[in-house]
Structure 1
Amino acid sequence: MGFSKKTILTIALIGALVGFAALGATTYAITATSTTEFCLSCHTMQIPNEEYQSSIHYSNAKGFRAECVDCHLPPDTLGYLIAKIRATKDIYHEFITKKISTEEKYEAHRLEMAEMVWEQMRANNSASCRECHNPEAMDTYEQTEDTVKIHEYGIENSLTCIDCHKGIAHFPPVIELDSEAFNNLLSHTENVPADAKRVYTVEGADMGELGRINPAVQLELISSNDNQREVKISGYQMKGAEQVIYLAEGKRAIIAMLSEQGQAALTVSEFKADEYNNEWRSAELTATIDAPVLASSEPLWEYAEQLDNVYCAGCHAIIPSHHFTVNAWGPIAKGMGDRTDISALDLEILTKYFQNHAKDLVDSNH
């Protein structure tokens, strides 16, 4: 017995209505659960919300505001739905495991959560970022020279937005290098051959009344007696700054600070003007030190690379040391270091690593 046309039409109509109702309910549910207000209904989102409200994505001169969905959900339909399904685990942790229910728990899992988001954004080539930030539309005349260079470097090396802009809306994880790494570095100072030709300071070295040598500086070893070493420091001075010895002519990497007695004890050449009319001269100073030193720069630079991986790569992709000049690295390292918890000594060692391997010194013997 067949159905009448009226019955078939009625069934089809009911099916269509049910389908539209289901589609409408689904659309409403997806839309409602994609608002910032919905995200903040979980108390565990109060910490990231406070960070977000202090970021340029919340308040800026342009008057644009990026909501949670704009950054955390890919713009393509399939990626959007997959991200929504993946996010159901957040509900599980919110009400069942209470994995990040306190500030202490949140901080304990900050790195894990950040790395998960970073990896997702790398996988889709930072598609959410590119919805608003189109490299082709960037006005390079409004950018600093260094910013233009970094963007060019990123494009040339197939980096994606999140590789460099990890802490743009939320605080990046605080990562510190444990003391074992530094203790391992110091262990290399225990067996320095008496006949070594060159030695390298670790924490710097006092020269008595002559002044002080900075950390990570190459010295010529003249003689050694137990912990007392006679060394020669060689570098350059700029006229008007005779209290300073720099790494090389025109290269403002400070390797020693001198007292008046230290300046008087120098062996120097005549000042000669460079292409910028700054006058430079070579300078040498012989002094006695008792600070720990290394017989090779290798463990020093290995330690610096660890610092780079922890304190620099925690926020952006590793920038090769040969990307900038000696003079550029100084302010760049200081500016970036101020945003981290890196110690003054570690920052100096890291800066010297960058400067000794800068693009205008890559062929030197430093």
Structure 2
Amino acid sequence: MGFKLLDRLRARLGRHAPLKLALVATVLGLVVGIGGMAGATAGLSWTNTEKFCTGCHEMRDNVYAEFKGTIHDTNRSGVRAVCSDCHVPKEFWPKIYRKIEATGELYGAMVGKIDTKEKFEAHRYEMAKRVWARMKRTDSLECRNCHTAAAMSQDAQSPKAWARHEKAKTDGKTCIDCHFGIAHKEPEGPGPQELSVHATK
């Protein structure tokens, strides 16, 4: 029965060239569309890997070297964050926006703006401020990839830490206002609390 149906379809398409063309175009469109989506997804995943992020010596020898041994790298629970966990949102559109924004940042690396330790240190505060400002604008969206305020246990925190977290909520603060310099060396200059950027909740 299946063969008869195929024979009928072939006969019909043979008589109707436009129908044949439309069918071929549809099939080709589906193949190209699915292939494009698969390629884009694979590309996004690849650019989120630690290997990709530390592929250039500027990142590997500076911020990644500082990250090693921090609480986000090694800890009692064995839950480890990689670069993208803290620097790329998980939600689709914020992730795409961040990837486009990060593409522009490659220019500095290509022209040698931060290609030595001295140059990197000279630009560290400027780079940190950009990250802090973005995280303040997004209400520390990247932190909330892993940390959920609703799941925080009062019993597991010291009374001082719990009080500070409650005060931060009341004062409209976001994670990065207090938790900075925990995975990378803190640059000289005012911290995130002093930046005049407001979180969008």
TM over 0.5: yes
Mapping 1:51-66, distance limit 5 Å: 51-66=66-81
Is 1:89–2:109 an aligned residue pair? no
Q: CA deviation at 1:126?
A: 0.6
Read off the aligned partner of 2:56 and give its amino acid letter.
C
Q: Which amino acid aligns with 1:155?
A: K
Deviations 1:16-42 (A, max 9, x none): 111111111111111111111001111
Q: How does 1:88-167 map to 2 (within 5 A)?
A: 88-95=103-110, 97-167=111-181
Aligned runs of 1:257-296 on 2, under 5 Å? none
- Report matched runs for 1:1-366 at 5 Å: 3-46=17-60, 47-95=62-110, 97-175=111-189, 310=190, 314=191, 317=193
- CA drift of 1:90 comes to 2.9
Tell me how far 1:92 sits from its aligned partner: 1.8
Distance apart, 1:58 and its partner CA: 0.5
Which whole-Å deviations, capped at 9, do the CAs of 1:33-55 have from their partners, x for residues lacking one?
11110011111102100111121
Distance of 1:3 and 1:122 partners within structure 2: 59
Q: Which has the larger radius of gyration?
A: 1
**Larger RCO, structures 1/2 (Cα 8 Å, 6+ apart):** 2
Letter paired with 2:64: N
Q: What SS does the corresponding residue of 2:184 show, helix, strand or coil?
A: coil
Q: What are structure 2's unaligned runs of at least 5 residues?
A: 1-15, 195-201
Residue 56 (structure 1) shift = 0.4
The answer to whether the 8 Å contact 2:63/2:184 transfers is yes
Partner SS state of residue 158, structure 1: coil
Shift in Å at residue 88 of structure 1? Answer: 0.9
Q: Distance in 2 between matches of 1:94 and 1:136?
A: 39
Letter in 1 for 2:72: H
**RMSD of aligned alpha carbons:** 1.5
- Give CA-to-partner distance per residue, 1:274-326, whole Å, 9 cap, x none: xxxxxxxxxxxxxxxxxxxxxxxxxxxxxxxxxxxx5xxx3x647xxxxxxxx
**Residues in 1 aligned to 2:83 and 2:30: alpha-carbon distance in whole angstroms:** 34
Q: Which 4+ stretches in 1 moved above 6 angstroms?
A: none
More strand by share: 1
- How many residue pairs get matched? 178
Confirm or deny: 8 A CA contact 2:140 2:176 kept in the other structure.
yes
- With the length of structure 1 as denominator, give the TM-score of the two structures: 0.47
For residues 141 and 34 of structure 2, the distance between their equivalents in structure 1, rounded to whole angstroms, comes to 30
CA drift of 1:89 comes to: 2.1
**Could you tell me how far apart the structure 1 residues matched to 2:56 and 2:104 are?**
13
SS in 2 for 1:87: helix
Q: Which amino acid aligns with 1:82?
A: Y
Measured in 2, the distance between the counterparts of 1:26 and 1:139 equals 39
Question: Hey, which of these two has a bigger chunk of helix by percent?
Answer: 2
Cα offset for 1:169? 1.1
Q: Supply the AA of the counterpart residue of 2:27.
A: L
Is contact 2:113-2:119 (8 Å) kept? yes
Aligned mates of 2:105, 2:50 — CA distance in 1: 15
Give the match for residue 302 of structure 1: none
Aligned position for 2:3: none
**Greater mean alpha carbon deviation, residues 134-143 or residues 58-67:** 134-143
Length-normalised TM-score, structure 2: 0.83
**SS of 2:142's equivalent?**
helix
Q: 2:184, 2:33 → 1: CA distance?
A: 40
